[in-house]
Chains A and B, each alone.
Chain A
Amino acid sequence: MSNETHQDKKLVGVLGQFDSPDALLHACENARQSGIKKMDAYSPFPIHGIEKALGVPRTILPFFVLAVGLSACAAGLGLQWFTNATENWGPWSGYQFKISGKPYFSLPANIPVTFEIIVLSSAFAAFLGMLALNRLPTFANPLHRIARFKRATNDRFFLAIETSEGGLDATSARNKLMEYGATDVEEVWLDQTDHQLPAFLKTFLVLALVLLLLPPVMVFRGQGMTSRQTRLHLNPDMDFQHKFKPQSLGPVASDDPLGFFFEHKRSALAQIPGTVSRNQDDSDSTFLRGIKAGPDSHHTNIKIPVVLASNQEQEALTPAAAPVEPDWVTEFPEQFDVNQENMLLGQKKYDIYCSVCHGYSGEGDGLVNQRASALAINGGTTWTAAKSYHDPEVVKQPVGRIFDTITNGRATMGPYASRLSPADRWAIVLYIKAIQETRANVPPATDVPPEADKNAGAKAE
Chain B
Amino acid sequence: MWDYNEQTRFEINLMATTVQTRIDNSIEDPSRRAPLITGGLDYDGVSDVVSDLAEMAKPPRIWYVLLAISASLTLILGALIGLLFFKGVGVWGNNAPVYWGWPIVNFVFWVGIGHAGTLISAILFLFRQHWRTGINRAAEAMTIFAVICAGMFPGIHIGRVWAFYWLFPIPSEHLSMWPNFRSPLLWDVFAVSTYFTVSLLFWYMGMVPDLATFRDRSTTRLRKFIYGILALGWTGSARHWHRYETAYTILAALATPLVLSVHTIVSFDFAVSIVPGWHTTIFPPYFVAGAIFSGFAMVITLLVPMRSIFNLKHIITVRHIENMNKIIMVTGLMVGTAYTIEFFIAWYSGNPFELFAFKNRSFGPFWWAYCIMFSCNVFVPQLYWFKRIRTSMIMSVVIGILVNVGMWFERFVIVMTLNRDYLPSSWSYFRPTWVDIMMLIGSFGLFMTLFLLFCRFLPVIAMSEVKGTITFQRNMAHAGGYADQH
Contacts and interface: CB of A to CB of B under 8 A. Distances in A.
A36 to B, nearest CB: 14
B147 interface: no
25 contacts: A51-B242, A56-B238, A56-B239, A83-B178, A84-B178, A92-B171, A92-B172, A92-B173, A94-B178, A95-B178, A99-B180, A102-B182, A113-B190, A115-B261, A119-B261, A123-B197, A134-B240, A136-B234, A139-B233, A141-B233, A150-B216, A151-B216, A219-B170, A234-B160, A235-B87
Interface string A59-97: 101100100000000000001100110000001111101
Given A62-B250, A123-B251, A43 B241 contact: yes
B10 interface: no
Given A92-B171, A110-B182, A112-B191, A21 B251 contact: no
Given A154-B217, A237-B87, A83 B2 contact: no
Contacts of A46: 241-242, 244-245, 464, 468
B77 interface: no
A44 B43 contact: yes
A120 B180 contact: no
A65 B254 CA distance: 11
B185 to A, nearest CB: 11
B236 A153 contact: yes
A378 interface: yes
> In terms of DSSP, what is the predominant structure of the interface of chain B?
helix
Given A79-B169, A119-B194, A119-B254, A136 B233 contact: yes
Interface residues of B, number: 78
Contacts of B85: 234-235
A117 interface: yes
Interface of B: 2, 42-44, 47, 85-88, 90, 159-160, 162, 165, 169-174, 176-184, 186-187, 190-191, 194, 197-198, 201-202, 205, 209, 212-213, 215-217, 228-229, 232-247, 250-251, 254-255, 257-258, 261, 265, 268, 463-465, 467-468, 471
Nearest to A129: B247
User: Chain A interface: which size bin?
Assistant: 35 or more
Contacts of A119: 194, 198, 254, 257-258, 261
Contacts of A91: 171
A333 to B, nearest CB: 39
Chain A at the B interface: SS class: helix
A155 interface: yes
Most buried by B among A51, A62, A119, A137: A119
Contact of B254 (A123, A134, A136, A236): A123
B190 A95 contact: no
B252 to A, nearest CB: 10
B197 to A, nearest CB: 6
B467 A45 contact: yes
A146 B188 CA distance: 50
Contacts of B179: 83
B233 A42 contact: no
Contact of B173 (A95, A223, A234): A223
Contact of A83 (B87, B169, B184, B213): B169
A95 B244 contact: no
B469 to A, nearest CB: 9
A79 B172 CA distance: 15
Interface in A196-235: 219, 223-224, 234-235
Interface in A110-157: 110, 112-113, 115-117, 119-120, 122-124, 126-127, 129-131, 133-134, 136-141, 143-144, 149-155
